[in-house]
Amino acid sequence: MDVTTEILAKGGLTLIALAVVTFRHLRPGKLEAERAGPLLIMMAVVSVLAYTNFGRLHGQSGIHHWEQFHYFLGSKYFPELRYDGLYVASLAAERELNLGLRRQSHVRDLRTNEVVPSAGLDNHMRQVKLRFEPGRWKTFVEDTRYFLTNRDYRYITSIRKDHGYNPTPTWTFTARLFSRWLPATDGWLSALAWIDPILLGVMFWMIFRTYGGRVGCLALIVFGLGYPWRFDWVGGAFLRQDWLAAVGMSICLMRRERFGLAGGLVAYASMVRVFPGGFLVGPAVVAVRYLLHRRPALWFLRLAAGFAIGILGCVLAGSLTGIGFDAWPEFSHNLEKHHDTWLTNNVGLKNVLLYDRATVTRADVRWNLPEPWLVWQEKMNRLQSQRRPLLLAASGVFLLMTIGAAWRSRRDQSAVLGIAVAYGVVVLTCYYWVMLLLVPMGRGRWIPTAGWLAINAGLYGLHLLTPSFEMIYGMMSLALLVFFIGWLGPDAWGVVRGGRSPNPTK
């Protein structure tokens, strides 16, 4: 299945799913409210199969070599590579292996985040190699051999122009529970690629058990057919969706009133991907509502305590990655280094206010440069600085709308609005928006789900019309703004008008 066939097939399935979801909820017949019905179940099964490209995966295998190069090697050898050494160490290993490959001319210097001539990195290469003990270096060279000999060399050179290894120390600790013991082979990397599906399977099982078949099937449909998080992005990777599983399970636990454990899972998700901390904003708003209604909010204290204990545990775990507590300052420095690096597949409210015609038509791209998007990135940083008051005001208004919607939500439903918090505050790479599968667990159920499916079908259509990620994800950013206003706006307006709040005991 080539890419065009995949896009046509999944775009068509999205339109069918939109019709099935609408039919199920407008013509329920004798089905109970929480039951899925045979059409919705069948659509959910087909959607999951579609996510795997109907079993084709990545074509050659189920291993995402680009992702595993970064996350397997980066975590296994974190004490030596840290956040600056992955690319130069792999170049040094390549030299020793003497595979007859033409030396890569340019590579990203992970100290500065700039693409530079590889010949100028010899000194840094030696410094990184000196961090290894002889035995560890030997195993690193052999693990690097696997990646060099399993993919076309042009693929490897492209990898080394990416942005390096960037996970938090907490994620690194978790990953090293697996990667530090294993060699880079097809068998072991395939096994590591199964961790995410297992975690997601547990999450979906909890969604079905907690919310019923209807919501579970809606979540599976959104997950399986989503354009922005197609299998090509992080399918077959290593522990890239642990944060999602943690957030999804935490919302289910809130519904089941297991608040301490729910808070701990949100803490873990926050400590491996940062932005999931926004999933506590809604519950905090509901807690304030409880207090104003003179009802006890002990549930939120349990949630907050679980979160605090989880944060502490994650900080301690992140200090056990081979370099002690220094891992955290180094991560902070690395995060700051990437702060002004705009990516073409980012999605968020900022895009709506910063993207212009030149951006979406790629007029700012310089294909003759080793870093074609450098001019565009500099322009985006300049615009962001110039329009900062507008960006802050827009984020503030959007968050007020989200808070208003949370005010009228149940405790677990308010947590789902962490998706909107992320949209209003940060820009995230497209595949993180897989969290939209949580939408059916919020207020409205099928209507916002249908709204997203309509947007999703449009993204597939746009993909067929243009190769520009800037156009596709710029339009997604705009469409999500309309989506959130339509979903959350009525509840927020109801608060402004002084409408009646839901029963604060729920």
Q: What is the pLDDT of residues 341-360, one digit of tens each?
A: 899 999 999 999 999 999 99
User: What is the DSSP code (8-state) at residue 83?
Assistant: T
Q: Which stretches of the chain score pLDDT less than 70?
A: 499-506
- 82 backbone φψ class: left, alpha, beta (φ>0; ψ -120 to 50): left
- State the Cα–Cα distance between residues 175 and 57, nearest whole angstrom: 23
- State the Cα–Cα distance between residues 386 and 383, nearest whole angstrom: 5
SS3 assignment for 224-265: HHCCCCCHHHHCCCCCCCHHHHHHHHHHHHHHCCCHHHHHHH
- State the Cα–Cα distance between residues 429 and 131, nearest whole angstrom: 32
Chain mean position to CA 244: 8
What's the predicted TM-score (pTM) here?
Answer: 0.95
- State the Cα–Cα distance between residues 421 and 423, nearest whole angstrom: 5
Nearby residues of 425 by Cβ (< 8 Å), 6 or more positions away: 275, 278, 395, 399
Length of the chain: 506
Residue closest to 272 by CA, chosen among 237, 291, 247: 247
Which run of H or E residues covers position 172? helix 169-179
The count of other CB atoms within 10 Å of the CB of residue 269 is: 26
- Count Cα atoms within 13 angstroms, Cβ side, for 101: 22
The pLDDT assigned to 504 comes to 43
The pLDDT assigned to 101 comes to 87
Longest CA span, the chain? 74
φ/ψ (deg, to 5) at 151: -135, 160
Residue closest to 338 by CA, chosen among 86, 110, 75: 110
- Parallel, antiparallel or unpaired: strands 346-347 and 428-429: antiparallel
What are the residue boundaries of the structural domains of the chain, listed by start? 84-164
- The CA distances from residue 236 to 82, 93, 191, 241, in Å, are 24, 25, 10, 11
- State the Cα–Cα distance between residues 367 and 297, nearest whole angstrom: 57
